[in-house]
């Protein structure tokens, strides 16, 4: 089986600290037991302290994508559902499946800004707005304030999967805005993609519909998440390493003629000028996210990996661009 460099899933390339791994092992040694309510309450308390949001507003789940899907399922009925385009694929998928009326607001080159005035104008009828900020796949922060939206009475869900990289979040505001909700994950910055810990920070408008939603998360995942929240400095150190490496990859990619868009995440959006570039990179042993269905086949989303992984990606992309250009002039 061919071994690939995986830069397509926005995973943290660094493992969690040994304390977190040992805590997960402790959970594995008790797999014959259900996760205790005390452990779940401890995790909620720690997430409340971390997010500065009231504990009673926090709902746990195996991944934030499941929470997004449930939010759209519950609240898109009898409402216009508004999403960005492009956006995190599960948002589009759930909106297409459940929304009775769907509006996609296009994010256009070169800025990929969200046209807020246009969005506000569309809120004259009951609406559910689902925005990922920073946006996936552009890496763009789409919202810097929420009041203009929630004060219209619209329901607003913000997916903040990359909050730790952007530093911009709205979790603290849910207690003052009952029609505001935020999803976050420990998959990315906390190096826990395999544990699948997501959480919803929901305003009061949403809480009744989510009563009883909390799942009994796997014991190893809960133990790992609790320990990871005791090691915030380790997470922050890794985030800073990724940001520094992202800036380097951005510079090096620009040197080989690639258009790289500013990012507030652990990935970069690139316009390569090479058609079917994701498919060609896969042949070279590098997996990146193919954006041909959302933008065009010359676009890719590239997760920031280790320095060695990024160097191989840059080498492979540079070689591909050179070959493509030579063939174009023949």
**pLDDT attached to residue 329:** 53
Residue 214 has pLDDT above 70, yes or no: no
What pLDDT, on the 0 to 100 scale, is given for residue 9? 97
Q: How far apart are CA 211 and CA 253, in angstroms?
A: 48
Average of per-residue pLDDT values in the chain:
95
Residue that is last in its domain, among 199, 230, 261: 230
The yes-or-no verdict on residue 204 having pLDDT over 90 is yes
pLDDT tier at 59, thresholds 50, 70, 90? very high
- Helix crossing, 89-98 with 64-75: angle to 10°? 30
Pick from 69, 119, 129, 131: which is nearest to 98 by CA?
69
For residues 123 and 150, membership in a common domain is answered with yes
CATH number of the domain residue 188 falls in: 3.40.640.10
What pLDDT is attached to residue 211?
81
Which residues span the domain enclosing 301? 5-13+233-324
Q: Are residues 218 and 261 both part of a single domain?
A: no
Task: Specify the pLDDT at position 210.
Answer: 87
CATH assignment at residue 282? 3.90.1150.10
Instruction: Identify the CA nearest to 114 among candidates 172, 79, 72, 122.
Output: 122
- Decide which of 213, 230, 247 is a domain's last residue: 230
pLDDT in tens, 108-124: 999 999 999 999 999 99
Same domain, 139 and 261: no
From residue 81, alpha-carbon distances to 132, 136, 137, 320 in Å are 14, 18, 20, 41
DSSP-derived secondary structure for 43-85? HHHHHHHHHTS-GGGEEEES-HHHHHHHHHHHHSTTSEEEEEE
Q: Helices 219-229 and 18-28 meet at what angle, rounded to 10?
A: 160
How far from 211 is each of 57, 58, 60, 61, 301, CA to CA, in Å?
11, 11, 11, 13, 37
User: Do residues 214 and 264 both lie within one domain?
Assistant: no
Spatial separation of the C-alpha atoms in residues 121 and 118, rounded to whole Å: 5
Half-sphere exposure of 313 (CA within 13 A, CB side): 32
Domain-terminating residue out of 230, 256, 285: 230
* Chain CA centroid to CA 238, Å: 17
Are 182 and 90 contained in the same domain?
yes
Q: What share of the chain is helix, strand, coil (3-state, %, to 5)?
A: 45, 20, 40
My answer on whether 124 and 175 are in the same domain is yes
Q: How confident is the model at residue 327 (pLDDT cuts 50, 70, 90)?
A: confident
Structural domain includes residue 25: yes
- The pLDDT, as a whole number, for residue 320 is 95
pLDDT of residue 99: 94
Number of folded domains in the chain? Answer: 2
Whether residues 213 and 294 fall in one domain? no
């Amino acid at each position: 089986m061919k071994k690939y460099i995986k830069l397509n899933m926005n995973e943290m390339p660094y493992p969690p600290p040994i304390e977190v791994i040992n805590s997960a092992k402790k959970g594995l040694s008790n797999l014959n037991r259900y996760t205790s309510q005390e452990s779940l309450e401890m995790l909620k308390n720690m997430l409340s302290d971390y997010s500065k949001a009231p504990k009673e507003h926090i709902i746990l789940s195996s991944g934030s994508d499941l929470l997004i899907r449930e939010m759209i399922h519950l609240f898109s009925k009898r409402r216009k559902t508004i999403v960005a385009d492009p956006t995190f694929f599960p948002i589009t998928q759930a909106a297409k499946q459940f929304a009775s009326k769907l509006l996609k607001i296009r994010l256009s080159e070169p800025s990929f800004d969200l046209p807020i005035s246009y969005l506000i104008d569309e809120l004259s009828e009951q609406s559910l707005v689902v925005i990922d900020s920073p946006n996936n796949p552009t890496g763009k922060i789409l919202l810097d304030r929420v009041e203009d939206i929630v004060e219209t009475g619209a329901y607003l869900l913000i997916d903040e999967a990359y909050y730790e990289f952007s530093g911009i979040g709205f979790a603290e505001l849910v207690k003052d805005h009952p029609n505001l909700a935020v999803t976050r994950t420990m998959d990315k910055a906390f190096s826990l993609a395999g544990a699948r810990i997501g959480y919803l920070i929901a305003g009061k408008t949403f809480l009744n519909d989510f009563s009883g939603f909390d799942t009994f998360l796997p014991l190893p995942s809960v133990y790992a998440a609790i320990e990871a929240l005791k090691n915030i400095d380790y997470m922050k150190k890794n985030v800073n390493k990724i940001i520094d490496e992202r800036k380097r990859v951005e510079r090096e990619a620009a040197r080989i003629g690639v258009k790289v868009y500013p990012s507030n995440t652990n990935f970069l959006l690139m316009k390569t000028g090479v058609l079917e570039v994701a498919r060609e990179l896969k042949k070279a042993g590098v997996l990146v996210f193919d954006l041909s269905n959302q933008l065009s086949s010359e676009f890719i989303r590239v997760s920031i990996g280790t320095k060695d992984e990024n160097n191989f990606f840059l080498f492979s992309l540079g070689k591909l661009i050179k070959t493509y250009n030579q063939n174009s002039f023949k």
